[in-house]
């Protein structure tokens, strides 16, 4: 008696390689720790006429916050280097993240405002490319300004480029604000397009589900 062939099952596509997923979540954790501990450090010597609510901070007191901050900084630096090396040698930077130019960005912004911007899982439109490259640059700047604040004598040349110790503090605060804004927008976009969340954990999406 002939047997019927089993119906073929759709093989999932690899949307995000494991290196991208692991470094993404480690970066998210490191940045969250740095921001919350950084707010506690800021409260000890505010730059501006406000303080962050203590409940939003990490560390309990200044020395504790500094310990959390530096632990997360080294995690961010090491993990960031792994990600950047992967991007360079795998072609991920050139293929998926390198900005496409002002015209493409303006076109995609217009499409987004009209609700007509297509979203491909594993692919990045011009706005996303600009945002991701921009936040990488900001993270590099926040590390550089942090070094200038940490060792203003040893890194006095670096601090001098930012207007000295106080200038480095301002640069550090501005970069932190930009990172928080990027993170908030990122979370909102995931909420609006929830199908993008699971692939960042599993790395996979069934065939036919990678495009809108």
Q: What is the mean pLDDT of residues 34-58?
A: 95
Which of the pair, 184 or 190, is modelled with greater confidence? 184
* 57 band by pLDDT with thresholds 50, 70 and 90: very high
Cα 148 from Cα 50, distance rounded (Å) = 23
Question: What's the domain range around 174?
Answer: 107-114+122-202
Residue 210 in domain? no
Number of H helices, E strands in the chain: 8, 2
Distances in Å between the Cα of 180 and the Cα atoms of 8, 56, 127, 173, 175 are 45, 13, 18, 11, 9
- Domain presence at residue 2: no
Let me know whether 32 and 70 are in one domain. Answer: yes
Taking phi over 0 as left and psi of -120 to 50 as alpha, with beta for the rest, 41 belongs to alpha
**What is the C-alpha separation between 47 and 61, in angstroms, rounded?**
18
Q: Quote the pLDDT of residue 8.
A: 44
pLDDT at 211: 46
Question: 197: which residues sit within 8 A by CB, 6+ positions away?
Answer: 190
Six-digit token string for 37: 């501990």
pLDDT at residue 4, as a whole number: 43
Residues 94 and 134 in one domain: no
Q: Indicate whether 78 belongs to any domain.
A: yes
pLDDT at 206: 52
For residues 141 and 184, membership in a common domain is answered with yes
Q: Are residues 83 and 27 in the same domain?
A: yes
Average pLDDT, the chain: 85
pLDDT reported for residue 142: 94
Does residue 12 fall inside a structural domain? no
Tens digits of per-residue pLDDT, 102-147?
A: 887 788 777 776 766 666 666 677 888 888 889 999 999 999 999 9
pLDDT: which is higher, 178 or 3? 178
- Number of domains present in the structure of the chain: 2
Q: Looking at the structure, do residues 85 and 130 belong to the same domain, yes or no?
A: no
pLDDT, tens digit (0-9, with 9 covering 90-100), for 154-174: 999 999 999 999 999 999 999
Q: What is 69-102 written as a DSSP string? A: HHHHHHHHHHHHHHHHHHHHHHSHIIIIIS---H
Q: How far apart are CA 98 and CA 93, in angstroms?
A: 6
Which of 184-191's residues contact partners 24+ apart within 8 Å by CB, and which partners? 185/131
CA pseudo-torsion sign 96, 207, 21, 192: positive
Give domain status of residue 59, yes or no.
yes
Percent pLDDT > 90 in the chain is: 53
Tell me: do 94 and 127 sit in the same domain. Answer: no
Q: Does the pLDDT at position 207 exceed 80?
A: no
Is 28 part of any domain?
Answer: yes
Lowest mean pLDDT among 17-21, 184-188, 194-198, 208-212: 208-212
Check: CB of residue 182 under 8 Å from CB of residue 38: no
Tell me the backbone φ, ψ of residue 154, rounded to 5 degrees: -65, -35
Split at pLDDT 50, 70, 90, the class of 1 is very low
For residues 73 and 128, state if they share a domain: no
- Residue 193, domain member (yes or no): yes
Per-residue pLDDT, 174: 97
Do 178 and 144 share a structural domain?
yes
User: In this structure, is residue 50 part of a structural domain?
Assistant: no
Say if residue 204's pLDDT is above 50: yes
Please tell me whether residue 114 adopts helix, strand or coil conformation: coil
């Amino acid at each position: 008696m002939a047997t019927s062939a089993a119906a073929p099952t759709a093989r999932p596509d690899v949307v995000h390689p494991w290196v991208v997923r692991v470094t993404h979540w480690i970066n998210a954790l490191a940045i969250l720790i740095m921001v919350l501990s950084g707010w506690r450090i800021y409260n000890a010597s505010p730059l501006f006429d406000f303080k962050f609510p203590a409940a939003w901070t990490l560390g309990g007191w200044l020395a504790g916050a500094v310990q959390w901050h530096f632990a997360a900084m080294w995690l961010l630096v090491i993990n960031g280097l792994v990600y950047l090396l992967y991007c360079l040698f795998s072609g991920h930077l050139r293929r998926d993240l390198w900005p496409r130019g002002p015209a493409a960005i303006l076109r995609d912004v217009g499409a987004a405002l009209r609700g007509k911007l297509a979203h491909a899982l594993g692919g990045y439109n011009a706005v996303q490319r600009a945002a991701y490259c921009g936040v990488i640059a900001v993270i590099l700047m926040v590390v550089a300004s942090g070094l200038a604040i940490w060792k203003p004598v040893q890194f006095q040349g670096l601090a001098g480029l930012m207007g000295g110790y106080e200038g480095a503090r301002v640069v550090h605060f501005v970069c932190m604000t930009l990172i928080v804004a990027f993170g908030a927008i990122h979370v909102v976009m995931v909420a609006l397009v929830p199908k993008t969340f699971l692939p960042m954990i599993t790395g996979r999406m069934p065939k036919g589900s990678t495009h809108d």
